[in-house]
Amino acid sequence: MINLIAKALGWIARRLGLLLLIVGVLVAVALLKDARDSLERDRQVIADQETLRENLQAELKTLKAISDAAELHWTWAQVRFEEAKTSAASSRAAANALKAEVATLERASRWWDKYLDSAKWAELELRKRSYAEAARAATLAERATARAARVMRDSPIPGVIANRNRKAQQIKELEDRIQGKREQLAQKPVERVLAKARTILPAAILILLGILIAPIVIKAFLFFVLAPAASRLSPIRILPNPHAPPLPEPRLSAVSVPIDVGADEELLVQANFLQSSSRPARKHTVWLLNWQIPFASVASGMFALTSIRPEAATPTRVVVSAQDDAFGEVGIIEIPEGAAMVIHPRALAGIVKPAGSSVSITRHWRLLSLHAWLTLQFRYLVFHGPCKVILKGCRGVRTEEPQTDQARLINQAATIGFSANLDYRTTRCETFVSYLRGQEDLFNDLFGGGPGRFVYEEVPAGDRRTGIAGRGVEGFLDAVLKAFGI
């Protein structure tokens, strides 16, 4: 009953959570729609105001063309009026001055002066005629000034100019309103996000194109320029030894492999590969495969190993299996005394060595080799016999022996190890498209000479394949481990 109630409550809780998610999505969509509608309304208001501004600017342009010509005439009329006004004032002043002189002469003259003092009388008559002419000139100037004043008073030009100024003021006020509306619109969060998106969109497109194209360009350079140079290099041989004993033919790999550990032998195996073992056996923890290569031991998983030795002279049987890998198999390669084999520690699941002695592992650097720089593998770890190495591989572990006149080619990602006296070189993979798509590594391993064997896993593990864009930090770490021969 309790389980039924718990299941019912769980079902209701999941449905409520789904309901809340749906409500949240609908609310978010509604809010975004309202924000978009508000932005559209604001943009429409701005568009209407901009249309009105354009119409006013067209009217202002017409008024300005008319008013510019009218203003020229108005200015000319003002000049004429001022000139007429000044002329009338000066003429009237001159007439008044002559009038005053005539009045002065009349007061000083008598009627008999016409007969007794003809010169005085002649001067008076001259002054009167001058005054009459000045009075007529002043009257004409005043009439001209009055006509100019009437023309200016009745002219429509001031109205045209005032209308032009009003239109200009309206346009300025409208532009201020448009600017204010735009500033309000720019302050809205949705508009800020859209504006920022529009700003960074070109850069984002360029970055995206770079991300898409750069790996292709780099891989094309590696395939067509770097890889052919590496393929033309002479092969390297880690430990040349034509008298090295041959490696025995190993048995086929399997999901689980039994191992009989002799009385004078010790098995070091990773705990997750230990499937079963006999009860009468001595077991303890060995922290590192070899204390001289602690980094390689830890990076390859060969640390905190389980050591198993028989209790007596009777061998003890241990079954080793790749329990954490559904596609993993294990195989055993025996390295006799005097023989040596380059092994990638990442493929080690365990090792059977003589009891009481450490695993003999030597490090061989190739820092001055162009082959090492092109393939980015500078160190090789060589395991010396006598010992038996337990190797793990996806879908199985396989060994081959190259013929003297026929080298053997293998996908570099699948290589687990090879005899130290084999000729080893790299060659470019066959097709660029398969390399570009991450189906093949750039280099294949090529083994020749001998005697000796090379070991590889049937299917390269998927996590060691490199896609078209690489694998980021993981790929970088793989490259570092490869450089150190791990």
131 residue type, one letter = Y
Q: What percent of the chain clears pLDDT 90, i.e. is strictly above it?
A: 13
d(CA 332, CA 318): 13
Average pLDDT rounded to a whole number, residues 46-58 = 75
130 residue type, one letter = S
Neighbours of 151 (CB within 10 A): 12
pLDDT higher at 186 or 281: 281
d(CA 332, CA 237): 24
- On whether both 152 and 269 belong to a single domain, the answer is no
- On whether both 176 and 59 belong to a single domain, the answer is yes
Residue 207, in any domain of the structure: no
Q: How confident is the model at residue 374 (pLDDT cuts 50, 70, 90)?
A: confident
Residue 206, in any domain of the structure: no
Number of domains in the chain: 2
Residue 211, in any domain of the structure: no
d(CA 153, CA 485): 106
- On whether both 159 and 280 belong to a single domain, the answer is no
- On whether both 260 and 179 belong to a single domain, the answer is no
Residue 238, in any domain of the structure: no
192, pLDDT greater than 70: no
Neighbours of 74 (CB within 10 A): 18
Yes or no: say if 149 and 84 are a contact pair by the CB < 8 Å rule: no
- On whether both 162 and 281 belong to a single domain, the answer is no
Residue 249, in any domain of the structure: no
Residue 312, judged by CB atoms within 10 A of its CB (0-12, 13-18, 19+), counts as exposed
Yes or no: say if 465 and 438 are a contact pair by the CB < 8 Å rule: yes
d(CA 90, CA 112): 36
φ, ψ at 475 (rounded to 5°): -65, -35
Give me 138's structure tokens.
């002043």
Helices (H) and strands (E) in the chain, counts: 10, 18
- On whether both 35 and 139 belong to a single domain, the answer is yes
Give me 471's structure tokens.
């694998």
468, pLDDT greater than 70: no
Q: Find the range with the poorest average confidence among 124-128, 302-306, 346-350, 460-464.
A: 460-464
Average pLDDT rounded to a whole number, residues 217-245 = 84
- On whether both 260 and 181 belong to a single domain, the answer is no
Boundary (domain end) residue, out of 170, 186, 202: 186
- On whether both 163 and 265 belong to a single domain, the answer is no
- On whether both 13 and 137 belong to a single domain, the answer is yes
Residues 318, 324, 326, 328, Cα dihedral to 10°: -60
φ, ψ at 378 (rounded to 5°): -105, -20
- On whether both 50 and 142 belong to a single domain, the answer is yes
d(CA 326, CA 328): 6
DSSP code for 271? G
* CATH at 90: 1.10.287
469, pLDDT greater than 50: no
Average pLDDT rounded to a whole number, residues 324-342 = 90
Contacts of 93 (CB under 8 A, 6+ apart): none
pLDDT tens, residue by residue, 10-47: 878 877 777 777 767 776 666 677 667 776 777 777 77
Boundary (domain end) residue, out of 186, 203, 230: 186
**Which range of residues forms the domain containing residue 355?**
256-483
462, pLDDT greater than 90: no
pLDDT value for 317:
92
d(CA 395, CA 331): 11
Give me 151's structure tokens.
């023309």
* CATH at 276: 3.60.160.10
β-pair type (443-449, 422-428): antiparallel
d(CA 164, CA 170): 10
Residue 16, in any domain of the structure: yes
Boundary (domain end) residue, out of 147, 170, 186: 186
Q: Is 296 strand, coil or helix? A: helix
Give me 371's structure tokens.
């082959």
471, pLDDT greater than 50: no
CA distances from 256 to 6, 345, 389 (A): 43, 20, 15
Q: How confident is the model at residue 210 (pLDDT cuts 50, 70, 90)?
A: confident
pLDDT value for 483:
67
- On whether both 278 and 174 belong to a single domain, the answer is no
d(CA 344, CA 367): 18
Q: What percent of the chain clears pLDDT 70, i.e. is strictly above it?
A: 78
Yes or no: say if 74 and 155 are a contact pair by the CB < 8 Å rule: yes
Average pLDDT, the chain: 78
Residue 219, in any domain of the structure: no
140, pLDDT greater than 50: yes
351 membership: H or E segment, kind and range = strand 348-354
Residue 215, in any domain of the structure: no
pLDDT value for 430:
79
- On whether both 167 and 283 belong to a single domain, the answer is no
DSSP strands (E only) in 175-288: 256-261, 265-269, 274-277, 281-288
Yes or no: say if 330 and 322 are a contact pair by the CB < 8 Å rule: yes
DSSP alpha helix (H) spans, 109-117: 113-116
Yes or no: say if 331 and 397 are a contact pair by the CB < 8 Å rule: yes
